[in-house]
Structure 1
Amino acid sequence: MLNVLPRDEKYFERFTEMAQRIHESAKILDQFFDKAAPVSTVADQIKRLEHECDEISHDILRGIDRTFITPIDREDIHRLAVRLDDVIDLIDGTVRRLSVFNISEPTPAGRKLSAIIVQATGEMVEAVGALRKQKGVIDHCIRIKRERRGHRLPGGDRIAVSRADLPDRSHQVEGHLREHGGVHRSLRNRCARARERRPEALLDGRVSSLEEPGQTHLLR
């Protein structure tokens, strides 16, 4: 049947642009944890990408009302734009905490978790890019779900900032790093939750609690 009312396909391109900037931000953040760049340099670059994502997100949301027929449900377009923006906001928030708390030396736990976030956001780019044809999205969903191992190490040891990571640091600095670890964990969960839904409702639902039974909240 001839489709006389063409759908506006620009949304897929804009989603991909957002996902690419998020992945780039994660890689830039990882430079700090890999001791390849200072916090100040990382913060400036990520802030620029965060502003670009904001502009793209706003453009997407404004376009929903101007588009007669959308390629997927308007509600799903809105959710996806907002959730993608949430991810880069969390990356930017992590950098701000590094700066505010004057953290210049990454912990082993932070390095491992940062590397996992880079992998997760890389899968995000692939998953979002596959939305147009809705082929291969589930494969990336499965891979991103595997990245949720990010809160554990082989052998069951949890990646969390603890006194074991900070034998020579003050209790105050330890508390700051616990908050930093909590932001990282929140970012990892959003990357995972955002892609474990069915393709046509990719980002439906809320992010579940970051805590497991018996776990003390890291942001307290």
Structure 2
Amino acid sequence: MLFGKLMPRDGNFFEMFNQHADRIVEAARAFSQLVANYHDAHLREQYNRDVDNAERAADRVTQEVNRTLHKTFITPIDREQIHSLINSMDDVADLLQDAAETMALYDVRSMTEEIRRLTELCMKCCERVKDAVKLLSNIGDPATAEAALKTCEEIDRLESDADRVMRSAMSKLFREEPDVRELIKLKAIYELLETVTDKCEDVANLIEGIVLENS
């Protein structure tokens, strides 16, 4: 009995998941503002910093989760699920930062309608990830588990929407863009933004697995 009392338990993993999801949404909102205000160099720089700050904060949460995982004997869900989930969530934040940095490094001059549409879908996916993560701590409740699964289904639909926008954007780009350098720049941005939604879908798939195994 004494040994059981001394073993580290739980580790507040659900709270850390929520903290990370908050940072993902912060990064997505900052990126959305970056795209919306891209014509203003001062605001562009400000929102780039905001994306960076949110990504660094997400990294710190990821590191804390991994440190806590090594010190915790009894975890609320499978250890591999914790590790996979937090690292997949961190991929989302990393990709948002990559997209913002790529715009600056490639000296993209203006935003296309396709970038705006993909950004909006990224934003919605990130918000739904936050909603799904928030439900994890109470998936023993059937209604909560069902709500989490429905939220994951919504993320899947948003990712499919992003795929369609991506295919249309690429078709238009290769048919209509005469400047090869601009084509290369925009292609890279489109691919990064579509990959953000892919990673959100990965997170949703992991959450679905956790719900089905633990509810």
Flag whether TM exceeds 0.5 (same fold). Answer: yes
The residue type equivalent to 1:182 in the other structure is E
Confirm or deny that 1:151 pairs with 2:163: yes
The answer to whether the 8 A contact 1:16-1:128 is kept is: yes
The residue type equivalent to 2:49 in the other structure is D
TM-score, with normalisation over the residues of structure 1?
0.81
Q: Once structures 1 and 2 are overlaid, which stretch shifts more, 142-151 or 83-92?
A: 142-151
Shift of residue 31 of structure 1?
A: 1.1
Pick one of 20, 45, 66 that aligns with 2:71: 66
Q: Which has the higher helix share?
A: 2
Matches within 5 A, 1:182-197: 182-197=191-206
Structure 2 match to 1:179: 188
* Separation (CA, whole Å) in 1 of partners of 2:210 and 2:168: 31
Structure 2 match to 1:10: 12
Shift of residue 35 of structure 1?
A: 2.7
- Structure 1 residues 124 and 165: CA distance shift in structure 2, 3 A: farther
Structure 1 match to 2:152: 141
CA-to-aligned-CA distance 1:76-98 (integer Å, 9 cap, x gap): 11111111111100000001100
Same amino acid, percent of matched pairs = 23
- The gaps in structure 2 that reach 5 residues or longer are none
- Structure 1 residues 164 and 28: CA distance shift in structure 2, 3 A: farther
Structure 2 match to 1:46: 51
TM-score, with normalisation over the residues of structure 2?
0.83
- Structure 1 residues 198 and 163: CA distance shift in structure 2, 3 A: closer
Shift of residue 194 of structure 1?
A: 1.6
The residue type equivalent to 1:11 in the other structure is F
* Separation (CA, whole Å) in 2 of partners of 1:137 and 1:165: 42
- Structure 1 residues 8 and 179: CA distance shift in structure 2, 3 A: same
The answer to whether the 8 A contact 1:29-1:95 is kept is: yes
Moved over 6 A (4+): 3-6
- The gaps in structure 1 that reach 5 residues or longer are 203-220
Shift of residue 176 of structure 1?
A: 1.2
Structure 1 match to 2:27: 25
Matches within 5 A, 1:120-135: 120-134=125-139, 135=144
The residue matched to 1:152 in structure 2 has which SS?
helix
Higher relative contact order (CA 8 A, sep 6+): 2
* Separation (CA, whole Å) in 1 of partners of 2:24 and 2:207: 22
Shift of residue 137 of structure 1?
A: 1.1
Over the aligned positions, Cα root-mean-square deviation in angstroms equals 2.3
The residue type equivalent to 1:178 in the other structure is K
The residue type equivalent to 1:93 in the other structure is D
